[in-house]
Amino acid sequence: MNDNRLLVMDDDPEVAKFFAQVGEDLGYAVTRLDEPERFIQTVESVQPTVILLDLQIPGKDGIALLRDLAHSRVRPKVLIASGLDNRMVTTATELGLSMGVDIAGAFCKPIALDELELQLARLLVQRKIITADRLREGIIEGQLVVHYLPKATRRGPGRWVVDGAEALVRWEHPEYGLLYPGDFLHVAEDNGLIVELTDFVFRTALEQARIWKSKGLRMDLGLNLSAHFVADLGFPERMLALIAEHDLDPSSITLELKETTAVEDPELTLDVLARLRVKNVNLCLDDFGTGSSSLTHLYRMPFSEVKLDNTFTKDMGTREDARAFMEGLVYLAHKLKISTCAEGVEDEATLQMLEALGCDRVQGHFIGPAARARDVERTIAVWNADRAERAAG
Ligand code: C2E
Ligand code: CA
Ligand code: CA
């Protein structure tokens, strides 16, 4: 599928043809539509990235179309075109924005070719090209940064205290802006750069944990571990040395492993993990429930924590079976003396359901999004004060 899809909604065939031609020349896959009745249906099937919307269409007004769009799941950028006067265009823009539609611009027809080109070119999604060389350069030039996702522990009824954070890597790319692991981690894994990347993330995060400790802030640190390291017999010693170098207690560190990671060579992995666990480093089985042999891992490997995947957390509000599933997982983990952490908690209702199930720890946007250390400190102060007040009153 073309990354750039333009829907032209205009009943004037000449105008629509002109708009479509300009779009195509810029590299858009263009769909033309002149019947407003089929607007939302077409939006849902084409999934346009940009819509050129004429406000004045016989049979239906453009505002009603904006409202339909606001209720749809598709989130295109909208350029409003109108033969009406400027004030009408401004009003429509404001209405659209207030409904949550992503209005990217507006203009009165007729529009000059170069003006339209400029508007449409600005909205082209850049295809991100991430090569190993470029990533290596990014690492060397210090473009990687670490964000911290707060983690709260249940300390009593209604009392969730943030006492930890998970380190998540980001790349401040000079052209593409802030990139997330989904954009570049696979490049690192496939090209051996995961060693340099992990070294950077671990050192940065451990240094941050040392700073937090020196400020008297109790912050356990979660670190994500790639498959590469659990097959490296020298890793436990290096990890422990790094923790000691930062004057931290191994029991304040949790290494997180996706269940898909742990499978390749179970014997070797068990050797590496057991040596870390014996030295009191916590081990967390991440994304639990998404892989296939997860139960066996929980049974055989020395995990101290299991992270319940956010797909189940998200469904808890609406699905009884998701709640039953979570309840079963928490029960099983506790029977195995493993603590539980739910990912992706986005509202109070979910937090309360998790508390009722006896879940021990939580993460998610409701507690706070991943952010730079400074911002996370502020989130934590607000959250902990607010929750302490609630628990007291
Ligand atoms: P993960 O370990 O499962 O991390 C959780 C992901 O969910 C993060 O995405 C986080 O920002 C996001 N998240 C947290 N709370 C919420 C919420 O309430 N709602 C929603 N919708 N999302 C939430 P992110 O940062 O894009 O990380 C993706 C994955 O990349 C991580 O998944 C982790 O496996 C991997 N990763 C990140 N940093 C590193 C690293 O330094 N090394 C390695 N090996 N992997 C890393
Ligand atoms: Ca993780
Ligand atoms: Ca996860």
d(CA 327, CA 348): 18
- For residue 343, report the distance from its CA to the centre of ligand 2, in Å: 9
Sequence-ordered alpha helix ranges (H) in 47-85: 62-71
Helices and strands per DSSP (H, E), number in the chain: 16, 16
Work out the pLDDT band at 263, boundaries 50, 70, 90. Answer: low
Closest-lying ligand to the alpha carbon of 145?
1
Work out the pLDDT band at 86, boundaries 50, 70, 90. Answer: confident
- For residue 112, report the distance from its CA to the centre of ligand 3, in Å: 49
Give the pLDDT confidence score for residue 292 in this predicted structure: 61
- For residue 273, report the distance from its CA to the centre of ligand 1, in Å: 22
d(CA 359, CA 222): 18
Nearest residue to 337 via CA among 274, 282, 276, 262: 282
- For residue 155, report the distance from its CA to the centre of ligand 2, in Å: 22
Backbone angles phi, psi at 319, to 5 degrees: -120, 120
Q: Ligand 1 test: best mutation among 172, 193, 224, most atoms within 8 Å of CB? A: 224
Asked whether 226 lines ligand 1 (CB < 6 A), one says yes
- For residue 168, report the distance from its CA to the centre of ligand 1, in Å: 6
Q: Ligand 1 test: best mutation among 168, 172, 376, most atoms within 8 Å of CB? A: 168
Mean pLDDT of the chain: 91
Give the pLDDT confidence score for residue 350 in this predicted structure: 96
Sequence-ordered alpha helix ranges (H) in 84-224: 86-98, 113-122, 132-140, 181-190, 194-214
Backbone angles phi, psi at 259, to 5 degrees: -65, -25
Give the pLDDT confidence score for residue 378 in this predicted structure: 94
Residues in the chain: 393
pLDDT mean over 348-377: 95
Q: How many CB atoms lie within 10 A of CB 359?
A: 24
Residue of higher predicted confidence among 167 and 231: 167
d(CA 192, CA 232): 13
DSSP structural state of residue 31: E
Give the pLDDT confidence score for residue 62 in this predicted structure: 82
Asked whether 174 lines ligand 1 (CB < 6 A), one says no
206-to-83, 219, 335, 347, 385 alpha-carbon distances in Å:
60, 11, 32, 30, 26
Q: Taking a C-beta distance cutoff of 8 angstroms, is the pair 120, 23 a contact?
A: yes
Closest CA to ligand 1's atom 27:
181
- Kindly tell me if the per-residue pLDDT of 51 is higher than 80: yes
pLDDT mean over 135-144: 97
Give the pLDDT confidence score for residue 108 in this predicted structure: 84
- For residue 222, report the distance from its CA to the centre of ligand 3, in Å: 11
Contact residues for 310 (Cβ-Cβ < 8 A; gap 6+)? 342, 343, 344, 364
Which strand (E) or helix (H) includes residue 324? helix 320-335
pLDDT mean over 254-268: 81
- Kindly tell me if the per-residue pLDDT of 182 is higher than 60: yes
Q: How many CB atoms lie within 10 A of CB 133?
A: 11
Cα Rg for the chain, rounded, in angstroms? 26
pLDDT mean over 155-175: 94
d(CA 386, CA 65): 42
pLDDT mean over 95-101: 88
Question: Which of 78-92, 271-285, 301-315, 354-368 comes out lowest in average pLDDT?
Answer: 78-92
pLDDT mean over 123-149: 92
Q: Taking a C-beta distance cutoff of 8 angstroms, is the pair 61, 84 a contact?
A: no
Asked whether 182 lines ligand 1 (CB < 6 A), one says yes
Torsion angle (degrees, nearest 10) of CA 163, 169, 172, 175: -140
Closest CA to ligand 1's atom 10:
370
Query: Omega into 58 within 30° of 0, i.e. cis?
Result: no
- Kindly tell me if the per-residue pLDDT of 262 is higher than 60: no
- For residue 283, report the distance from its CA to the centre of ligand 1, in Å: 17
Which ligand 1 atom is nearest residue 256's CA? 2
Work out the pLDDT band at 221, boundaries 50, 70, 90. Answer: very high
Closest CA to ligand 1's atom 25:
168
Asked whether 365 lines ligand 1 (CB < 6 A), one says yes
Asked whether 230 lines ligand 1 (CB < 6 A), one says no
297: alpha, beta or left, given left = phi > 0 and alpha = psi -120 to 50?
Answer: alpha
Nearest residue to 118 via CA among 64, 79, 86: 79
Work out the pLDDT band at 1, boundaries 50, 70, 90. Answer: low
pLDDT mean over 212-225: 96
d(CA 209, CA 317): 34
Exposure string for 142-155, b = 16+ CB within 10 A, e = fewer? ebbbbbbbbbbbbe
Give the pLDDT confidence score for residue 151 in this predicted structure: 98
d(CA 286, CA 225): 10
Closest-lying ligand to the alpha carbon of 150?
1
Closest-lying ligand to the alpha carbon of 144?
1
Asked whether 313 lines ligand 1 (CB < 6 A), one says no
Which strand (E) or helix (H) includes residue 60? strand 60-61
Question: Which of 19-28, 84-93, 317-326 comes out lowest in average pLDDT?
Answer: 84-93
Give the pLDDT confidence score for residue 83 in this predicted structure: 80
What residues does the ion ligand 3 have nearby, CB within 5 Å?
Answer: 286-287
d(CA 42, CA 67): 15
Which ligand 1 atom is nearest residue 146's CA? 41
- Kindly tell me if the per-residue pLDDT of 63 is higher than 90: no
Give the pLDDT confidence score for residue 211 in this predicted structure: 98
Question: Which of 173-177, 268-272, 368-372 comes out lowest in average pLDDT?
Answer: 173-177
d(CA 334, CA 20): 60
Residue of higher predicted confidence among 194 and 92: 194
Asked whether 363 lines ligand 1 (CB < 6 A), one says yes
- For residue 257, report the distance from its CA to the centre of ligand 2, in Å: 7
Give the type of residue at 319: R
